[in-house]
Structure 1
Amino acid sequence: MIANLSGRCYGGDRDLDAIVHLIDICEAVDRLDQGTSISELQQKINQPCRDLARDIRLWEDAENKLICFAELSIAETGEPIQGLLSFRVHPDARSGDVEAVAVAWGETRMREVVKERGAPVKLRSWARAQDADRISVLESCGFRVDRHFCRMARSLSESIAQPEFPEGFALRLFPGAQDSEAWVEMYNQSFIDHWNHRDLTVEKFKYDLAQPNYRKDLDLIAVAADGTFAAFCYCEISPEECDRTGRNEGWITVLGTRRGFRKIGLGRAMLLAGLHRLKAAGVETAIIGVDAANPSGALRLYESAGFHKIRDSVFYVKDV
């Protein structure tokens, strides 16, 4: 343990520079593609319903140098209540001790949630499949493997098939914030059968719509003949991330088809429509994340559309 390591609450914007600096130092070693900027970090930290005083923690050494930054994303809905713990530790301070302190803080915070909401909780975290040190830390702290995910990529210089929509369905741009409730209902009905689903709230959705990187031309929905929002594909391009990595990439951020409209080709059509939109925006490579055990066959769909695996991650869980 580092001598005189002290923890404190997040101090607001005055802490952003130090946190970004720590993340950049970690990125130089870990290469997780999780670098950030002050504006990106501010957007992430200020998520709706985030308790800034209790859901973020910083640890500093005797010279007030930031050694560890940890945050909890606590689900607003569902039982058991899920808390996703993320933490970054300065490479010179990694021995397992500082990491254990961050995990212990996460457990303590989730126990507070138990008392406040009167419901059971689970603490989650994750690691890259190749990150033996992080995996060792999580397992030594009592976490167990819960799920495997992979990141996939596809070059947009290769031919992209044209989307074919079933009869009666039309491709549209999302109309805007006035239809937020309909979009959120579609999203929740699309992912209700998926692992660890927690309902999206209208408040959170509107927060995301207001962010600088949101582009209406990349927010696609399939509308049924009766006006029902049936499927969606939202793509995202982060100029800051592209500048940071030196790669011209865009994300298929979310893709889904609601109950009652599956197995008729909407998912494939929306995916292909999204790829065409990213290519038209000048993107060279499309990225997507997928649950390796997705019950809807998403992994096979992406592979058939030309995606290939580039990275594996493991999610861990601990009962608190």
Structure 2
Amino acid sequence: MSDTLTVRPAGPGDAPDICALLNAVDVIEIGRPETDLGTVEADLNHPDVDLATDSWLAFQGGRLVAYALVWADSGPGRVDGDHYVLPGHAPAALRLLELMEARARELAAGARPARLRIQLNVAPTLDLSLLTGRGYRTVRGYQVLTRRLGRADRTPPPPPTGLALRDCAADEADRERAHRLIETTFAAHFGHVDRPYETWLDHLDARRLDWSLVWIASLPAEGDVGVLLTRDDRTSMGWISHLGVREDQRGRGIGGFLLRHGFAAYAARGRETVGLGVDTHNETGALALYEAHGMGPHYAVDTWELSLHSQG
């Protein structure tokens, strides 16, 4: 069989092979496979992605060795991307970087500043010299934290005085309120994008979201003060996607209560592990809060950014 490098766009039917590739990368980078087929299918079906122009599969000798995807749903001038490659395949990695950058320039045309961002494990399968040599730089660091759950975690925590909690399973209006709370409480976070409700649902892949695992916290004199958005569609663990408390209500134990409530909900569902991602430079003290409640590092991720110039 020829070892010629070939590249083509991805299609919906490629999801199982892409998932297998990503899990092979997971095993190398974090020690176990953690990518679910549904996540890959959601990426390939994202309404802002045209697979014919925004996705690439690289094959070496007929074997899938690299995959890349770009999308532009974060406002003018910003393009985000995924890049996965098996070790020892630098030509494939480089070719997909070139294609991503060329497409990103088209998507960001006319905007200034314009940049392409990708997130990678701090010890990735991709040779980082390929990035630094092309002008990429790290702009942010994140940690994925996890916590083991046991029988003792099944008991829900007592709420702070006066705090009421309701889920968003039955009321579409509450889902919109959860969206507004997330937009408000995350507004100052690095990389946050303010999205209208329907666009936010697409970004969230709400088709797979169990709204009974999304909660809003309220106080009688203050109204809605906090939100906890979680999802139970990952094989490896329950996932806390967003935990936000209004700035004027922080320091009252609401964040810690919401976190422990999430622990209790997932312990009751039989989950053994719960995880979340946190910006290590988050100024709200989120990292310290999570660590104080027993969460510890699983792996770390860097955000890499390339300034896009029209001529490359």
What interval of TM-score do these two structures reach, taking the shorter chain for normalisation? 0.7 to 0.9
Equivalent in the alignment of 2:119: 126
Equivalent in the alignment of 2:58: 59
Q: Considering only aligned residues, what root-mean-square deviation do their CA atoms show, in Å?
A: 2.8
Q: Provide Cα deviations, 1:18-74, integer angstroms capped at 9, x if missing partner.
A: 32343344445444656545443212221232233322122334x554332101132
Could you tell me whether the CA contact under 8 Å between 2:81 and 2:117 is conserved in 1?
yes
How many residues get paired? Answer: 304
In structure 2, stretches of 5+ residues that fail to align are none
Q: 3-state DSSP class of the match of 1:54?
A: helix
Aligned residue identity for 1:7: V
Could you tell me whether the CA contact under 8 Å between 2:85 and 2:126 is conserved in 1?
no
Could you tell me whether the CA contact under 8 Å between 1:59 and 1:67 is conserved in 2?
yes
Aligned residue identity for 1:184: H
Deviates more, 1:105-114 or 1:26-35: 26-35
Provide the rounded CA distance (Å) in 2 between the counterparts of 1:205 and 1:103: 28
Q: 1:210 to 1:290 in 2, by over 3 A?
A: closer
Aligned residue identity for 1:124: R
Provide the rounded CA distance (Å) in 2 between the counterparts of 1:60 and 1:76: 30
Q: 1:171 to 1:298 in 2, by over 3 A?
A: same
Equivalent in the alignment of 1:153: 146
Could you tell me whether the CA contact under 8 Å between 1:234 and 1:274 is conserved in 2?
no
Could you tell me whether the CA contact under 8 Å between 1:234 and 1:255 is conserved in 2?
yes
Aligned-pair CA distance for 1:275: 0.9
Equivalent in the alignment of 2:260: 272
Equivalent in the alignment of 1:199: 194
- The 5 A counterparts of 1:1-320 are 4-10=4-10, 12-31=11-30, 35-61=34-60, 64-77=62-75, 81-91=77-87, 93-94=88-89, 96-115=90-109, 118-131=111-124, 134-157=127-150, 159-160=152-153, 163-174=157-168, 175-207=170-202, 208=204, 210-212=206-208, 214-225=209-220, 228-238=223-233, 241-242=235-236, 249-320=237-308
Provide the rounded CA distance (Å) in 2 between the counterparts of 1:307 and 1:255: 14
Q: 3-state DSSP class of the match of 2:68?
A: strand
Q: TM-score, normalised by structure 1?
A: 0.83
In structure 1, stretches of 5+ residues that fail to align are 243-248
Q: 3-state DSSP class of the match of 1:141?
A: coil
Could you tell me whether the CA contact under 8 Å between 2:29 and 2:125 is conserved in 1?
no
Could you tell me whether the CA contact under 8 Å between 1:156 and 1:275 is conserved in 2?
yes
Q: 3-state DSSP class of the match of 1:6?
A: strand
Aligned-pair CA distance for 1:164: 4.7
Could you tell me whether the CA contact under 8 Å between 2:53 and 2:103 is conserved in 1?
yes
Q: 1:112 to 1:292 in 2, by over 3 A?
A: same
Aligned-pair CA distance for 1:125: 1.8
Q: 1:59 to 1:230 in 2, by over 3 A?
A: same
Could you tell me whether the CA contact under 8 Å between 2:120 and 2:303 is conserved in 1?
yes
Aligned-pair CA distance for 1:305: 0.9
Provide the rounded CA distance (Å) in 2 between the counterparts of 1:165 and 1:290: 24
Could you tell me whether the CA contact under 8 Å between 1:47 and 1:204 is conserved in 2?
no
Aligned residue identity for 1:103: L
Provide the rounded CA distance (Å) in 2 between the counterparts of 1:113 and 1:51: 11
Moved over 6 A (4+): none
Aligned-pair CA distance for 1:222: 0.5
Aligned-pair CA distance for 1:148: 1.4
Q: Provide Cα deviations, 1:162-198, integer angstroms capped at 9, x if missing partner.
A: 5454444311112443433322211111111111111
Q: 3-state DSSP class of the match of 1:294?
A: coil
Provide the rounded CA distance (Å) in 2 between the counterparts of 1:234 and 1:281: 16
Q: 1:55 to 1:171 in 2, by over 3 A?
A: same
Provide the rounded CA distance (Å) in 1 between the counterparts of 2:285 and 2:7: 44
